[in-house]
Structure 1
Amino acid sequence: MEKIKQNLKRITAILLLAAVAGLYSFSVDDEITGPKPKKANNIPVFTKVVYEGNDQVYLDNPLQDNEFYTPILQGCYPDPAITRKGDDYYLVCSSFAMFPGVPIFHSNDLVNWTQLGHVLDRTSQLDVHDTGISQGVYAPGITYNPNNDTFYMIVTAFAGGLGNIVVKTKDPKQGWSDPIKLNFGGIDPSIFFDEDGKGYIVHNDAPDKGKELYSGHRVIKIWEYDVEKDQVVEGTDKIIVDGGVDISEKPIWIEAPHIYKKNGSYYLMCAEGGTGGWHSEVVFKSDSPKGPYVPAPSNPILTQRYFPKDRKNKVDWAGHADLVQGPDDEYYGVFLAVRPNEENRVNTGRETFILPVDWSGEYPVFENGLVPLEPKLEMPEGVTNRTGKNGYLPNGNFTYTEDFSEENLDYRWIGLRGPREAFMEQTKKGVEITPFETNIKEVKPTSTLFYRQQHNTFSFTTTMEYRPKSENDLAGVVALQNEGSNYVFGITKKGKDYYMVLEKNKWPNRRGEIISEVLASEKIDYDGELELQIKANGDKYEFAYSNDGSTFKTVGGVVSGDILSTDVAGGFTGCLLGLYATSANDIVPE
């Protein structure tokens, strides 16, 4: 918890320094791709990837015909927000320094989801080229305004000197506008449109100067929003929650606010307790959108903080929620939570879960949100589970195979700090990754194509054609939590010989430097093609290769996944599995 609070304070300080120093200018050759490296003659080609998840919880809990699994989005898809227009539901999540930014999903029933793409998919919208992986953009809100038939996505951008921004569209399937910078500070904004057409923005902020009472003391502010000018109305800001439900108990990190209107009353729902073991969701009520707001007597309405740490199939950190009315006219809430491994480490990151919400009384309450969460739910009436079929995203245990033969690359593949198209090209042979002269440890765009780890037990296998020309060349795979917490596994050259190497990078030492350790190196006979594999069984990770197309050999033995977990590495992301190439290799075979 303390690490998370420190991270947020550090990120805020970095944003302020960047704004003062003017560090956010970044020229690009192309609006979408940015500058491309010179094409080398030893470009690795990845011809196939197979990701297979095999978590025991899904083996022990097979689905019945009327059931579906939650989380609905496995892997690092945190901070969900949702909106509805007619029979269409749209959901967005945080993406930090991943590019493109803010993944957006569509459903007609809250069970079966497709990914439409990303809201911020152009460099003119998002510049994260020099930011740490847990900076960038996070905690988006998405709202449909029926008064002008427009969708709004609002988010905090800890990159590019933007701060809080909003983008708009008439159709989320057709792309979004360039960002409009909003004139307020703080984080976690969301927009509410009242029936009379008036708009309001609520967000987390620091208390007024000199009024901070304790570490983690935050407030919720509201502004009037000028819909015509797309800007907050100066002087209309007001603190509507100070500290949380009961400030005498020193609650921390009241954040992620959303306003709803039901039966003429206004409801403010927020996360409280910080993204960690004390996370929760709380709700307040008022007769006016600008308050005063009175907390519900039954808060929290969602949390997992009260249960034994060693409970089976543990789900934890539940909070940061948003509500929507479902296809059966009942309410549902999407929220983030985590599924720790057997060492209580969080490698899959914060994921998007869903629960029905009982709003038959005065206040909404997440159904079974105050008992240990179960892995599956009953589907809304009349819905058929099609996950994993006909383009719908899978969940539970599944196998995903990518041969890179489609014209458009699947949206689940992402870059880091820059566009995928800047370094990759799909060819008849597979996907070529032109190496940047950038190492995975640098806070720069990296020539790596990433896929999120979505299970605690998984394998990630790829076929690669590549011949390094010198010790500066390396291509292979990475398991990465951040720039200073990762494993690199690939092939490089020393003299005339080829070597498989496994390096562990751990951040930081006492001087703030990344500690790099070559765990293993092995000279191999090599004809230019290899199969590479990352697999994990909970905290136990292995890296292996095959140069005969059948037998895999582990290099470096079993290693701990601790540095790939949020609780050890810090930050807000989960583990990413990457196809990596560099012309700035510094791993020296032993």
Structure 2
Amino acid sequence: MNPSSTQYANPVLPGFYPDPSITRAGEDYYLVCSSFEYFPGVPIFHSRDLIHWKQIGHVLDRISQLDIRGCGSSDGIYAPTIRYHEGTFYMITTDVRGRGNFYVTATDPAGPWSDPIIVPFGGIDPSLMFDEDGKVYVTTQQGANYDSHVIQYEINITTGEALSEPVVIWTGDGGPWTEGPHLYKINGLYYIMAASGGTAKEHREIIGRSSSPYGPFERLPQPILTHRGIDHPIQYLGHADLIEGPDGNWWAVFLGVRLGEHGYGVLGRETYLAPVHWNEDGWPMIDNNEGTVELEMKVPRPSKGSPQPVEYNGRHEFADSVLPYALTFLRNPAEGSWSLQARPGWLALRGQPGSLNEIGQVAFAGRRQQHVAAEWSTLLELDSGADGEEAGLCARMNEQAHYEIGLAQKDGQRVISAYLTVKGHTQLAAEVPAPTGKAYLKIAADAAEYYLLYSLDGEKWIKLASGAAYALSPQAVEGNGFTGVVIGLYATGHGKTAEATAYFDWFDYRSL
């Protein structure tokens, strides 16, 4: 290989990490993604080479910043933007059913981040732009479907107060859902970039430019990024953000979906990376059906150094005083619903009245599925409690679509049960007696199925049930399906707070 080039695999963040935004401080890059109904909100990653990303925390990690206790699936936190300016990091986003558009600040991107500062206008997907003259602009989506457009106004960056009235600056290319806008000033010109077409097969990234931050903007007639209308393993490309490296080379991060040969993908929208080429007319080009964005990339070396690849496989032992960053709760966890101190080395979950079928606080801690073929396992101990109490392992898309295998108390007896919930209908697929309150549980997945297995000794595994992978894909979900599958440990009291505590010794993830 040429020493000035490098190879890497796309996506650079596999699994449900959509709507990426990126900034740079010196030679350090920081990236954030949407988190929707999961808490803490807005995972944040660090890299020195744009390829290998390490999560360093979450931006919204306390209820004063993010209260999504009653948040529906694919609601919550939409499309964050991260920017760095004069020693301070800014993250602006939308709490779509809550406080609307707001931003938080930090001097250390690992946190702590400030409490929210509200901005007054806009629908979703706000972005910040710090101009050379000291002005700060909020650029954000407004309207819906074919009426979706971009508005912009100036703010006081200390208070969030609007210093100008919002002005419509961009109506897109005639397609629906002009969203995810970003304003840049590059080589003396203002560039407005946005997604168009909706986050599915017509998704694309479009761009315009002007001598003024408010336009009028000359639109490039064709998208600068799309795979619409072609047979390609990566689809739905769009929602991009641009970054210039210390060496003057430009890059883009954006979302894409690996649909697979059957036309669906349970992993959701993932984060991809590609170089940006500036054409002779001064437009940034990524890939307009030209074959630039591939699963295996060979590109100019983004920066010096050779960081270690991120290891996705492994076991969470719950030996620390905090949960690993890779784990996420479903909404804000109820007080007392989890603990790492109740039994050191174990994760304790106390079942809540809500179940996996309901919108509300559920005892659930999971991690995103990042490989199509993978398996997850745990060792669970569940004390005797009241009838209806249950804990186990779940593959979750939303309230309407999830599969789980767990220990339960039923008619005074312990059982191991497998449930399949498809389009809101829950079926008890299989059930066997449990000789003790201890069981090893496993979910294994391939492109076609999820398999629910148990073991009494950790060696011999018995398949209890299986469910179609398609049913857990965003493509099968009615309405918004903006997330991907999350595999989690759960507990529920099915209508009341559980008497018994569920203890999980470890949580293991293996790609196959």
Alpha carbons of 1:413 and 1:190: their partners in 2 closer, same or farther (altered >3 Å)? same
In structure 2, what is the Cα distance between the partners aligned to 1:530 and 1:374? 42
Look up the SS of the partner of 1:562 in the other structure.
helix
Question: Which residue number corresponds to residue 284 of structure 2?
Answer: 364
Alpha carbons of 1:300 and 1:360: their partners in 2 closer, same or farther (altered >3 Å)? closer
Question: Which residue number corresponds to residue 560 of structure 1?
Answer: 468
1 or 2, which has the higher strand percentage? Answer: 2
Question: Which residue number corresponds to residue 441 of structure 1?
Answer: 357
Quick check: 1:263 aligned with 2:201?
A: no
Question: Which residue number corresponds to residue 316 of structure 2?
Answer: 402
Identity over the aligned pairs, expressed in percent? 37
Question: Which residue number corresponds to residue 306 of structure 1?
Answer: 229
- In the TM superposition, residue 69 of structure 1 has moved relative to its aligned partner by 1.6
- In the TM superposition, residue 254 of structure 1 has moved relative to its aligned partner by 0.8
Question: Which residue number corresponds to residue 267 of structure 2?
Answer: 348
Question: Which residue number corresponds to residue 116 of structure 2?
Answer: 179
- In the TM superposition, residue 449 of structure 1 has moved relative to its aligned partner by 0.8
Question: Which residue number corresponds to residue 500 of structure 2?
Answer: none
Look up the SS of the partner of 1:442 in the other structure.
coil
Question: Which residue number corresponds to residue 42 of structure 1?
Answer: none
In angstroms, what is the RMSD of aligned CA positions? Answer: 2.0
Quick check: 1:485 aligned with 2:398?
A: no
Alpha carbons of 1:411 and 1:300: their partners in 2 closer, same or farther (altered >3 Å)? same
- In the TM superposition, residue 496 of structure 1 has moved relative to its aligned partner by 4.3
Question: Which residue number corresponds to residue 21 of structure 1?
Answer: none
In structure 2, what is the Cα distance between the partners aligned to 1:490 and 1:254? 43
- In the TM superposition, residue 70 of structure 1 has moved relative to its aligned partner by 1.6
Which amino acid in structure 1 is aligned with residue 33 of structure 2? C
Which amino acid in structure 1 is aligned with residue 267 of structure 2? T
In structure 1, what is the Cα distance between the partners aligned to 2:307 and 2:41? 27
Look up the SS of the partner of 1:104 in the other structure.
strand
Alpha carbons of 1:387 and 1:340: their partners in 2 closer, same or farther (altered >3 Å)? farther
Structure 1 length-normalised TM: 0.79
Question: Which residue number corresponds to residue 210 of structure 1?
Answer: none
Structure 2, unpaired ranges of 5+: 497-512
Alignment of 1:467-486 (within 5 A): 467-486=383-402
Quick check: 1:166 aligned with 2:103?
A: yes
The match for 2:202 among 254, 278, 294 is 278
Alpha carbons of 1:406 and 1:229: their partners in 2 closer, same or farther (altered >3 Å)? closer
In structure 1, what is the Cα distance between the partners aligned to 2:378 and 2:168? 52
Q: Is the 8 A contact 2:34 2:42 kept in 1?
A: yes
The match for 2:298 among 363, 378, 402 is 378
Alignment of 1:406-445 (within 5 A): 406-419=320-333, 422-426=336-340, 427-445=343-361
Which amino acid in structure 2 is aligned with residue 415 of structure 1? F
In structure 2, what is the Cα distance between the partners aligned to 1:482 and 1:553? 26
Question: Which residue number corresponds to residue 133 of structure 2?
Answer: 196
- In the TM superposition, residue 355 of structure 1 has moved relative to its aligned partner by 0.4
Which amino acid in structure 1 is aligned with residue 37 of structure 2? A
In structure 2, what is the Cα distance between the partners aligned to 1:75 and 1:240? 34
**Which stretches of structure 1, 4 residues or more, deviate above 3 A after TM superposition?**
367-370, 381-388, 419-422
Which amino acid in structure 2 is aligned with residue 373 of structure 1? V
Q: Is the 8 A contact 2:59 2:111 kept in 1?
A: no
- In the TM superposition, residue 382 of structure 1 has moved relative to its aligned partner by 5.1
Q: Is the 8 A contact 2:388 2:410 kept in 1?
A: no
Quick check: 1:241 aligned with 2:150?
A: no
The match for 1:518 among 408, 416, 428 is 428
Question: Which residue number corresponds to residue 151 of structure 1?
Answer: 89
In structure 2, what is the Cα distance between the partners aligned to 1:422 and 1:360? 57
Structure 1, unpaired ranges of 5+: 1-64, 208-214, 508-513
Deviations 1:246-278 (A, max 9, x none): x3xxx1111111111111111111101110000
Residue-pair matches, total: 486
Q: Is the 8 A contact 1:201 1:232 kept in 2?
A: no
The match for 2:178 among 254, 264, 270 is 254
- In the TM superposition, residue 360 of structure 1 has moved relative to its aligned partner by 4.9
Q: Is the 8 A contact 2:37 2:68 kept in 1?
A: yes
Which amino acid in structure 1 is aligned with residue 50 of structure 2? L
In structure 2, what is the Cα distance between the partners aligned to 1:233 and 1:206? 22
Q: Is the 8 A contact 2:179 2:194 kept in 1?
A: yes
Q: Is the 8 A contact 1:110 1:326 kept in 2?
A: no
In structure 2, what is the Cα distance between the partners aligned to 1:399 and 1:228? 42
In structure 2, what is the Cα distance between the partners aligned to 1:217 and 1:269? 17
Greater relative contact order structure (CA < 8 Å, 6+ sep):
1
Q: Is the 8 A contact 1:414 1:449 kept in 2?
A: yes
Q: Is the 8 A contact 1:80 1:334 kept in 2?
A: yes
Q: Is the 8 A contact 1:315 1:372 kept in 2?
A: no
Which amino acid in structure 2 is aligned with residue 571 of structure 1? G
